[in-house]
Amino acid sequence: MTEQPLKFVIVGGGTAGWMAAAALAHALKGRVGEIELVESDEIGTVGVGEATIPPIQFLNSLLGIDEIDFVKKTQATFKLGIEFRDWRRLGHSYIHPFGPIGMAIEGVGFHHYWGRLRRHGDTSDICDYAMSAVAARKGKFVIAPSELPPGVPPLAYAYHFDAGLYARFLRDYAEKRGVRRTEGKIVEVKQRQSDGFIEAVELEGGKRIEGDFFIDCSGFRGLLIEQTLKSGYEDWTHWLPCDRALAVPCESVAPLTPYTRSTARTAGWQWRIPLQHRTGNGYVYSSPFISDDEAAATLMANLDGAPRAEPRLLRFVTGRRKQAWNKNVVALGLASGFMEPLESTSIHLIQTGVMRLISLLPTRNHDPAAVEEYNRLSKLEYEQIRDFIVLHYRATERDDSELWRYCRRMALPDSLTHKIELFRERGKVARFDDQLFAEPSWVSVFLGQGVEPRDYDRLADVPPLADVQRALANVRDKMNHIADRLLTHDEFIARHCKADPI
């Protein structure tokens, strides 16, 4: 006998809620019952979260989203990586580019050959061999592989978009596919007496919404997962001490840089996210080391366009929900945990959470093995991203403020200590299963932050030195040549995906 399909209730209509609604409605059509999303206009959304990483393209492609339409409707620009200014030391800058750096030769990572040339006096930057970094520095962009010479892989890229317009875009998508939206403020969460599973939420005014499975996308408050089910939270503030952010939009200034900028400041860092209609800015900081007023003054003094609003304060505790799936509730987005947006990973974590939920689809008879696997993978994913973010803080030469002095001394997670030691001694990146950030990402941040390997893979010594020198010079020249011939990012947008002014 076929099981009666489950009714899903999504609590929250921010980026997480509408991403979940769109993905479930599309991927599970016919396999689930009704999907109902509840959101409160009065409470609203967090309203930030505008820089992404390349895997978002998998989601767009799964949903069958037309890229140009998406870019226009969300006032998006393209992102080839992140520029880190003043992170290693004041005045220093490097790029963490998306996509490959060079190419493996005879199975040996490219950076080992680069390391060998360094020993022979070569002064090139590792990012001179990353197409995304070369294009980013020149402000160039292209999508179509047909506009690149044969054999050159397409540029790896993601998007910057307006968070409100993105949620709106996904809402239209989900509603067209049958998702029911209910506006209202949830004031009660009802649990079954027998086992504590959630059976309904009740809105102001008395309306009751029942469901079989609940997705908690209610933001930092974690209405179901924490306030009701008390799933627990692992606090990582000792590794990532920033606990507040001030966000402010400003007028857009030309040219539109095809990358996010992160500038380290005395008590944290400032983001700059260029969109077509405005630039998003924010200062992520550690409140024990700076007052809100001082942080606001720093942020406002470092905008490159006229501010379009007053700065908005957001408070957070970095860490993860101990059980992201508890009983018949999965938490997604800010309800599942928070890591600062230094590597733009939160929206990605929503995406992987939804995909994991779809692949371990809940059933009526509640399968503990599926729950355990979901939670195991969520924990692993969070910890791997955490280590990557902590690396930026720890591997710094800065000692000009209390925050940076604290970061240079702080104890690290064992997993990261091993990674840093292995890279420093051997130039090797310790990789773990299913890790989001691939070797080139770790290499660019290690080197960018000043973790220089003492040695390189001896297999890189096999080809004659002159051959290696020639090969690397060719790669560099070719990338420069290709980038020079591309449209600028502004030209690309004007020609292919200019959004209507708003």
Catalytic residue set: 79
Map tokens 């024990």 to a residue.
Answer: 288
| Count of all residues that appear for the chain in the document | 502
Smallest gap from Cβ 415 to ligand FAD, in A, equals 22
341 touches ligand FAD by CB under 6 A: yes
| Contact residue for ligand FAD among 211, 282, 353, 448 (CB under 6 A) | 282
All residues at 6 or more sequence positions from 301 whose CB lies less than 8 Å from its CB, including other chains: none
CB 466 within 8 A of CB 118: no
Q: For ligand FAD, give the closer residue by CB, 350 or 451.
A: 350
All residues at 6 or more sequence positions from 412 whose CB lies less than 8 Å from its CB, including other chains: 239, 390, 394, 420
| Contact residue for ligand FAD among 6, 16, 240, 385 (CB under 6 A) | 16
Q: For ligand FAD, give the closer residue by CB, 223 or 445.
A: 223
318 touches ligand FAD by CB under 6 A: no
Q: For ligand FAD, give the closer residue by CB, 32 or 247.
A: 247
Provide the sign of the torsion angle of the four alpha carbons 361, 367, 371, 372, taken in this order. Answer: negative
DSSP code for 300: H
Provide the sign of the torsion angle of the four alpha carbons 9, 12, 15, 18, taken in this order. Answer: positive
Alpha helices in 100-162 (DSSP H): 110-119, 131-138
Find the binding residues for ligand FAD in span 203-222 (CB under 6 A): 217-219, 221
Stretch that binds ligand FAD, among 332-340, 368-376, 413-421, 461-469 (CB under 6 A): 332-340
**Element at 202 (helix H, strand E):** strand 198-203
Q: For ligand FAD, give the closer residue by CB, 324 or 347.
A: 347
262 touches ligand FAD by CB under 6 A: no
Tell me how far apart the alpha carbons of residues 99 and 94 are, in angstroms, rounded to a whole number: 15
| Contact residue for ligand FAD among 15, 74, 231, 266 (CB under 6 A) | 15
77 touches ligand FAD by CB under 6 A: no
For 164: left if phi > 0, alpha if psi spans -120 to 50, otherwise beta; the answer is alpha
Smallest gap from Cβ 441 to ligand FAD, in A, equals 16
232 touches ligand FAD by CB under 6 A: no
Q: For ligand FAD, give the closer residue by CB, 50 or 212.
A: 50
Q: For ligand FAD, give the closer residue by CB, 94 or 338.
A: 338
Map tokens 């070369």 to a residue.
Answer: 134
17 touches ligand FAD by CB under 6 A: yes
Strands 260-265 and 81-85: parallel
Extended beta strands in 224-267, E state: 233-235, 244-250, 260-265
Smallest gap from Cβ 322 to ligand FAD, in A, equals 18
Stretch that binds ligand FAD, among 2-10, 49-57, 234-242, 381-389 (CB under 6 A): 49-57
Find the binding residues for ligand FAD in span 155-174 (CB under 6 A): 163
CB atoms within 10 A of CB 469: 15
Smallest gap from Cβ 130 to ligand FAD, in A, equals 21
Dihedral of the alpha carbons of 178, 181, 187, 190, in degrees to the nearest 10: 0
| Contact residue for ligand FAD among 28, 43, 361, 370 (CB under 6 A) | 43
Smallest gap from Cβ 416 to ligand FAD, in A, equals 21
All residues at 6 or more sequence positions from 343 whose CB lies less than 8 Å from its CB, including other chains: 53, 82, 96, 385, 388, 389, 437
Find the binding residues for ligand FAD in span 239-258 (CB under 6 A): 245, 247
**Element at 27 (helix H, strand E):** helix 15-27
295 touches ligand FAD by CB under 6 A: no
DSSP code for 46: -
Binding site for ligand FAD (CB under 6 A): 12-17, 38-40, 43-46, 48-52, 163, 185-186, 217-219, 221, 223, 245, 247, 282, 314, 316, 333-335, 341, 344, 346-347, 350
